Copies of this chain bind each other. A is one copy, B any other.
Amino acid sequence: MAKTGVTAPLGFKASGVACGIKENREKDLALVVSDIPATCAGIFTKNVVKGHSLKWSMKAIGRGTARAVAINSGCANACVGEDGDRDAFEMASLVSRLVGCEADDVLLGSTGVIGYRLDMDKIRTGLEEASGLLSGEGGTDAARAIMTTDTFPKEASRVYEHGGHTITIGGMAKGSGMIHPDMATMISVITTDANISRDMLDKALRGAADVSYNRISVDGDTSVCDKVLILANGLAGNPVIDSDGPAYRAFEDALKAVAIELARMLAKDGEGATKLIEINIKNAPDRNTAHLILNAIAKSPLVKTAIHGCDANWGRIITAAGYSGAEFDPDKVDISLGEIPVCKNGRAVPFDEAAALEILRAPEVVITLDMNQGTVTDRIWTCDLTCDYVRINGSYRT
């Protein structure tokens, strides 16, 4: 089987270790390193409150190149004042010495509980161990080390040919609670051996995030530490992609595929989730209307519990659309669950309850809302709301 994840592209090594931040002895420190300086780009949380490790990365990304990404789970390194900034700087400095680069070439991530300082003794020891374990096979260990309440590591990759060159994109992601559109959805690191300019890499990342990470919602919360980072080291040897054109579009398509695969995994692994829900909107008048309606439906606890209970209660779907803030004519709206129409022109239509039940019992449920008042199509992924979500989040800190 071909390699997947962040070590799939040429010239990337990774590792993941248990340094003791998580009390359960699970992996909690990930390191991803490119053999040579890589062009980098990032998208960061829009939350007004920003974690200290995140703030470090926002600054470091400005250089446009990076060698390494270090991410710990179990502690968000957020809301602890200047100590948190100092700890982030020390973490980057430690990695730089181990990898042989400048501190500014190290991007950071911290995810976990807010309001507690990083245990720097554990980070120090852990980074040394992680550095010694760096390997071309270490992607899955790294993916595991960034997990918080995730139930499985999330990795994806795509390989494509263009102009006689083979280009690989790999990625990992974490985060199953505090997930919502507008970036700040999770932590994801993507690597590629493509040779691509900073500007085009940034553009491709934003294009891909827009159809993937910004199209998932678990509970509507956006965290203070979330980001997606991409590193491109150029080892595929292709002529540099520095403008729009077939080479760029091939890269963007592959990047979108990786990002969408990771985003779907995030929604599917939403805290306590038993089902992936895909909500499609068709024939919306404009993108903003589509966005408002998709978000309201995906965030509605009433919709999410109904799907969990396999209850074809489409009234909650049109209700959520109605309070979304979008202006539209509800009397033109059609709603389907899977292929079954349940509402036509804003009104109930008779449907086969047994067939609907079968659709709702599946692990993936598709809801389609056809507005019949425009041409815009969009979609979002979310998950059902379950008792396990309540249990997980009633005792996360303790």
Contacts and interface: CB of A to CB of B under 8 A. Distances in A.
Instruction: Identify which of A46, A328, A389, A394 gathers the most chain B CB atoms within 10 Å of its CB.
Output: A394
Given A300-B220, A323-B184, A348-B115, A390 B305 contact: yes
A306 interface: yes
Count copies of this chain in the complex.
2
Interface string A371-398: 0000000000000011101111111111
Contacts of A308: 390, 394
Interface string A319-346: 1111110111010000000000011011
A81 B343 CA distance: 11
Contact of A114 (B315, B386, B392): B315
Contacts of A78: 315
Interface in A24-69: 46-50
A160 to B, nearest CB: 36
Nearest to A117: B348
A118 interface: no
A100 B391 CA distance: 55
A186 interface: no
A7 interface: no
Contact of A321 (B49, B345, B346, B386): B49
Given A46-B323, A301-B219, A315-B115, A348 B395 contact: no
A302 interface: yes
B393 A390 contact: no
A315 B116 CA distance: 10
Given A312-B397, A395-B311, A346 B220 contact: no
A383 to B, nearest CB: 12
A309 interface: yes
Contact of A396 (B221, B313, B386): B313
Interface string A219-230: 111111000000
A43 to B, nearest CB: 15
B220 A301 contact: yes
A48 B330 contact: yes
Contact of A393 (B302, B348, B395): B302
Given A308-B394, A314-B115, A221 B301 contact: yes
A343 B115 contact: yes
A247 interface: no
A221 to B, nearest CB: 5
Interface in A204-234: 219-224
A315 B79 contact: yes
28 contacts: A46-B323, A47-B319, A48-B323, A48-B327, A49-B322, A49-B330, A76-B315, A79-B330, A79-B348, A80-B347, A114-B316, A115-B347, A115-B348, A220-B299, A221-B301, A221-B316, A221-B320, A224-B318, A301-B389, A305-B389, A308-B390, A311-B394, A311-B396, A312-B397, A313-B396, A387-B390, A387-B391, A389-B390
Interface of A: 46-50, 76, 78-81, 113-116, 177-178, 180, 184, 219-224, 299-302, 305-306, 308-316, 318-324, 326-328, 330, 342-343, 345-348, 385-387, 389-398
